[in-house]
Amino acid sequence: MKLDDLEIYKLSLELSENFWEIFLELPKQFRFSIGDQMIRSVDSIGANISEGYGRYHYRDSMKFYYNARGSLYETKHWLKLLLMRKFISEERHGVLLEK
C-alpha cells in the first residue's frame, strides 16, 4: 500500500486545504498570529503521518503517528479559537470538527 492510498493521509490533506481556505479569509493582521500557527499545526498532521509511514521500524513509525495525533489536538484548539473569535460560523466549526 502506498502513502497516498491511506485514508487517514487523504483526510489530513483535505483538512489542510479546508484550513487554508480559512487562512485566506482571515483579516491580514490575524494571518501571522492565529493563522500561521493554525496552518503549521494542521499541515503537521499529514507531515508526521508521511514521515512515520516512511520509517522502517515500528517504534519509529509510532513516534510520528503520536506526533500527528498531538498536532490534530492542537488544530482542534485553533479551530475552537476561530469559533470563539467569530472568524468561522458554528456550522463550519461543526463540519471541520467532524473530519
Write out pLDDT tens, residues 31-51: 999 999 999 999 999 999 999
In the chain, the domains with their CATH numbers are 3-98 (1.20.1440.60)
Q: From CA 15, how far away is CA 11, in angstroms rounded? A: 6
Q: What pLDDT shows up at residue 64?
A: 97
Mean pLDDT within 53-62: 95
For residue 99, give Cα distances in angstroms to 16, 28, 39: 11, 26, 16
pLDDT interval class at 99 (50, 70, 90) = confident
Q: What pLDDT shows up at residue 67?
A: 98
